[in-house]
Structures are given as structure tokens and as C-alpha cells.
Structure 1
């Protein structure tokens, strides 16, 4: 059966989608200028890229928290529109955004459920450690990235502006000062 499996994690179109999402989260982080203000919450976001028609087996709806699909239904079709919509959602709504591997956005924002005992048994205890900087959103994204039909999860920390990409239980994380390279004025101050 594995010979017939599509390797979405290596697919050029899916990698482009991950790049578009990463760029969007970085841009949202860099465009917010009040990270150091006391009592101010920055934009936060949690995104999961999934295969298959539904996440109902491991996600619950987050009430009335919805992505405005009338404004933006596809990630890469109009990246500026996606950025503007994501920027608003990151400041006003809670829950994870579900995006299919073709870039189509699900309207309902969700809360991913914890891994089940059978899923936990497949994880090496050494790989199950969380980093000290991880909050609930990041721990959930790490665990969710281990699920069979989840290609990748991404987070934007509302406390620090950190952007993290999770895949298969591992991750790459970038502090706000590391985002945007030479175009980030914070990187060289």
C-alpha cells in the first residue's frame, strides 16, 4: 500500500503552500510593532495542512470562530488577500485554521484533540519532549503534526511573534528577530 501513497510532504505544490503560509505568518509578525508593550497581546495563529476530506476524527469546532471564506477561500491564489484576511483572523479569532493540500481553506476553525493511546505508543519518549518556550498552541501543533493525514502545522506565537513549522513531530522555529533576513530591522539592531 505504501507504493500507492502520495508523498505530500515532498510534493512541490505542497512545499509552495507551506512557503506561502510561512511567509504570511512571518509578515504578520513583522508588521505588528507592539510586541514589547506590556499587557498587549499580539497576533496568534495555528494552521494545519491536511490530506483527506475531513478532520472530524481528531478536531472539534471552535464555536463561532470562523475563517471568512467569502473574503478568501484559497491561500496562494491571491497571497495579499490571504495575508490581509489572516492578519485580521490572527487578532480576532481563536482556533486552528485547516488548509487542504490544494490550498483551500476550511471555514470552521477547530481545536485539535489530544493524541489517542495508540498514537502515543508510536512516539519515542525521547521525541515527546516539549521545549520550554512552547505554550498550549505549540504543543498541540507538535502533536498534531504527528497525525497520519497532517502534512504540516505552523504557528505564530501571540506572545513573542515566533514562527514555527512542525512536520512529523519535529520542528524548525524562528524567533521574531530571525524572520525576514536582511529585511527585518530587528535582525541587525
Structure 2
């Protein structure tokens, strides 16, 4: 590895990007009051923090689903980010691509299953699914093992659970666990 290579998983600024996505997903979960109602679909989110701009090699556009870049371009514009994420979580579908510098891509995507590109078949062995995982979470854990992806963050539209996936490992908080004492790594 080159001496100029950046270890994104431990880089302070990149960790802040992942934290901002996580806390924003938690905010959306806590703000929604209908989780206990039968047959109610709540807000859902799927963020992927990527270390390359060529994510098209493993992602396809999700139709007309777009992040509102005219009002929010980065996770570091807190007010604009919180304002944009609410409507996106209920009105859009697909993964939201965030670069390691916090810039948010406009086109929302569907990440391809592992093994669709050459050399990916061994990555499947790094993935272990949990019984609580739905399709969004299964996609997020698979996407998290790609070398270009630093982390993925999801908000379950069924339960309000917020999960962070890194290298095929899940760190998940059920809705009733969100909003406790400040958590610092």
C-alpha cells in the first residue's frame, strides 16, 4: 500500500460523516410516531459512504429518485441536511451515495448483489445475515464489504431500527434504544 493511501475506516473526518448519517437516521426514527400502528410504513433510509466516484460499477440508477441537491449538497450543512432527509425518507426509494468528504450524490441507486463483478465472489463469504434483516439491510451489509465502500447506514421503514454496517459487520439499535445517553466511540 502506498504511503499516501488513506485508511478511510479510521479517518476522523470520514468517521464524522458516518456519525452524521447515523444520528440523522436516528432523528428521523425518533420523530416518527406511527411505528406501533398496524400496516403503517414509516420513513426509510439507506446511505452508503463511498471512497470512489465510480460507484456506477456496482450500482444502478433508481429511476427518478433523486436527492435534492438544490437545497442540500453535503452532510455538513446540518439544517439543510435534516430538512432534506425527512421528505426523502418517505417519498424516495433507493440508496443515497455519500462520498467520504460528505458530498451527497443526486441520483439515488440500487446496489447490485455481490458476485456480479469479477473478483467479488469471495466477498460473499464475509457476509452473515441476521433474522431481523429485510432486503434493505441485506443489501446494506453486502454493500459494506465492497472495498470502495466505507460504511452503510440504514433506517428500517418497518421498525425504526437504525443500523451501521462496516466490512460485513452490523451495529444495530432498535428504535427504543435510540436517543439514550451520548454515544462516543
Q: What's 1:118 paired with?
A: 119
Q: Deviations over 1:135-157 (max 9, x none)?
A: 01000000000001100000000
Q: How many correspondences in the alignment?
A: 180
Residue in 1 that maps onto 2:105: 106
Distance 1:83 1:64 in 2: 21
Conserved 8 A contact 2:123-2:145: no
Give me the TM-score of the superposition, normalised by structure 2: 0.93
Unmatched tracts of structure 1, length 5 or more: 184-189
The CA deviation at 1:122 is: 4.1
TM-score by length of 1: 0.91
Q: Which residue of 2 aligns with 1:35?
A: 35
Instruction: Assess if the C-alpha contact under 8 Å between 2:52 and 2:148 holds in 1.
Output: yes
Instruction: Spell out structure 1 runs of 4+ moving beyond 6 A.
Output: none
- Equivalent residue, structure 1, for 2:82: 83
C-alpha spacing 1:118/1:180, structure 2 compared with 1 (3 Å): same
Q: Find out whether 1:15 has 2:10 as its counterpart.
A: no
Q: CA deviation at 1:129?
A: 2.5
Structure 2 gap ranges (5+): none
Contact 2:127–2:141 under 8 Å retained in 1? no
The whole-number CA distance in structure 2 between the counterparts of 1:4 and 1:82 is 31
**What CA RMSD, in Å, does the superposition of the two structures yield over aligned residues?**
1.5
Supply the distance in 1 between the matched residues of 2:49 and 2:21 (Cα, whole angstroms): 10
Shift of 1:2: 5.0
More helix by share: 1
Whole-angstrom distance in 1 between the partners of 2:103 and 2:142: 23
3-state DSSP of counterpart to 1:23: helix
